[in-house]
Structure 1
């Protein structure tokens, strides 16, 4: 389970229910057109932290039904309600998801021992491959190399979605734990992450630029650094436009321009203004060259 994995968006109807038709189209687009190496379902990009448990279960089931066995699937189950996370993990396992992932418990300033106990309970009660989702900018939980070592020691923990900018730490972790998988979580930094030893990347912008991300990653593997830098520069043009208007809103609008039913945002996310729509449509000129 390596390479470029799309953090899947979720199309909603205006009333906040999942747009099943649009979701199927986006799953197919990622698999058939972007040709990504897997799908990460239920993460930040899916707006899952705005969903209730029943809707998350629905999302997992719909994606699995459409994707089948074509690519590996990772279910993000993290929740402040640990019992919910366990139920979601076992549900995803039963559906046939290849691995689980869980965001670090957030909002409260949990100690590392409390966070460790959380992951221990999840891994023991789901008994399925687990990828730690470390995103210190959003959760406030920063792990040391030794902290990561303790989490990686759990039998079912196979790796980390590393959404951090400390590349020296990543390189050291990869050296110390060569049998574990480390995914970049920063799309605009795929080049330096790949050079530092990342086994792949999980990101929201790969809904639109998955092919480019694969090209960059393969260029690094072939030691073609010039091509990799050039592709990263092209990707960052797209990412900058998305950051200007809102990444998830921007992706959905570009999808609509491409004929996909990308639906609405989940409340309280807002929709784009007409000016923002025109601005983000410039992405089409980049990705359709």
Structure 2
């Protein structure tokens, strides 16, 4: 099963109305765009890019349900269920498993200084309750949780922990992980470092900008894996120009506004995020035209 999960995944965006409620029709359009236009291999549902940590449990379930209804079995689906409330994480994991998600993922517990043993037990309890495969979501820049190679070894001894979403700039640790665990899945989580990650032997990548730049990301991954490094770097340079502009305008509002330019009802970011700055609309349109987004 785990080998079937390789490839590029959009970290699914979620559209909200002015009251913070999910726009279901828009969510379906975003899913279809990832499949039909961006030509991605899968969706990573309810991650950071979906503003997951701003939603209540029922909203998270709604996103899981709609994404599955719309995607069916056309692409692979990974459900991010991590939560500071372990009971919520388990309930979400059970729900996503019942819906037929291909695997679960969970961010490392954050905010409090949890011990590794507490983090390990968090994962093991979700797995025990769901009997589904798990992909660790390691993003130390936001969680402050750094997992060592020996700690990864302990986690990977659980046969249901099949890989990691690795969102960190430490390419030494990435190489060590790839060498030590050749049979585990490694997904890169930094869109701007896709070419370096691909050369390092990752099995795929999960990114927010793939919602608008998926075709180019697929080309980067393909060329890097084929050894066409110069071509891959040229494509990465284009992608990084896009990413830099998007970050300067505001990541989530700009990604939604870009899809909105294509007629997709992407609504608004969820408060306390601010809406897209309309004074930047000409700049966004120029970016879309220049890079054929």
Q: Do the structures match in fold with TM over 0.5?
A: yes
Deviation of the 1:134 alpha carbon = 0.2
Counterpart of 1:25 in structure 2 is 29
Distance in 1 (CA, whole Å) between partners of 2:248 and 2:168 is 21
Counterpart of 1:144 in structure 2 is 148
Whether the aligned pair in 2 keeps the contact of 1:238 and 1:286 (CA below 8 Å) is no
Distance in 1 (CA, whole Å) between partners of 2:282 and 2:157 is 49
Distance in 2 (CA, whole Å) between partners of 1:231 and 1:59 is 32
Moved more, 181-190 or 272-281: 272-281
RMSD of equivalent CA atoms: 1.0
Counterpart of 1:37 in structure 2 is 41
Distance in 2 (CA, whole Å) between partners of 1:194 and 1:230 is 14
**1:256 to 2:260 alignment:** yes
CA deviation string 1:98-120 (max 9, x = no partner) = 00000000111111111111111
Distance in 1 (CA, whole Å) between partners of 2:289 and 2:90 is 44
**Which consecutive unaligned segments of at least 5 residues does structure 2 have?**
none
Counterpart of 1:274 in structure 2 is 278
Deviation of the 1:267 alpha carbon = 1.0
Distance in 1 (CA, whole Å) between partners of 2:213 and 2:121 is 37
Counterpart of 2:61 in structure 1 is 57
Deviation of the 1:280 alpha carbon = 2.8
Counterpart of 1:227 in structure 2 is 231
**1:214 to 2:222 alignment:** no
**1:199 to 2:203 alignment:** yes
> Any residues of structure 2 matched to 1:229-248 within 5 Å, and which?
229-248=233-252
> Any residues of structure 2 matched to 1:102-113 within 5 Å, and which?
102-113=106-117
Deviation of the 1:154 alpha carbon = 1.2
SS at match of 1:143: coil
**1:188 to 2:192 alignment:** yes
Distance in 2 (CA, whole Å) between partners of 1:141 and 1:228 is 31
Distance in 2 (CA, whole Å) between partners of 1:20 and 1:272 is 20
Counterpart of 1:158 in structure 2 is 162
Counterpart of 1:171 in structure 2 is 175
Distance in 1 (CA, whole Å) between partners of 2:172 and 2:277 is 40
Deviation of the 1:122 alpha carbon = 1.1
Counterpart of 2:84 in structure 1 is 80
* Structure 1 residue ranges, 4+ long, deviating more than 3 angstroms after superposition: none
Match of 2:121 among 114, 117, 120: 117
Whether the aligned pair in 2 keeps the contact of 1:48 and 1:56 (CA below 8 Å) is yes
**Which consecutive unaligned segments of at least 5 residues does structure 1 have?**
none
**1:2 to 2:18 alignment:** no
SS at match of 1:266: coil
SS at match of 1:74: strand
Whether the aligned pair in 2 keeps the contact of 1:254 and 1:283 (CA below 8 Å) is no
Match of 2:17 among 13, 19, 29: 13
Distance in 2 (CA, whole Å) between partners of 1:269 and 1:20 is 20
Aligned length: 289
Distance in 2 (CA, whole Å) between partners of 1:212 and 1:244 is 20
Q: With structure 2 as the length reference, what TM-score do the two structures score?
A: 0.97
Distance in 2 (CA, whole Å) between partners of 1:280 and 1:131 is 34
SS at match of 1:286: helix
Moved more, 260-269 or 277-286: 277-286
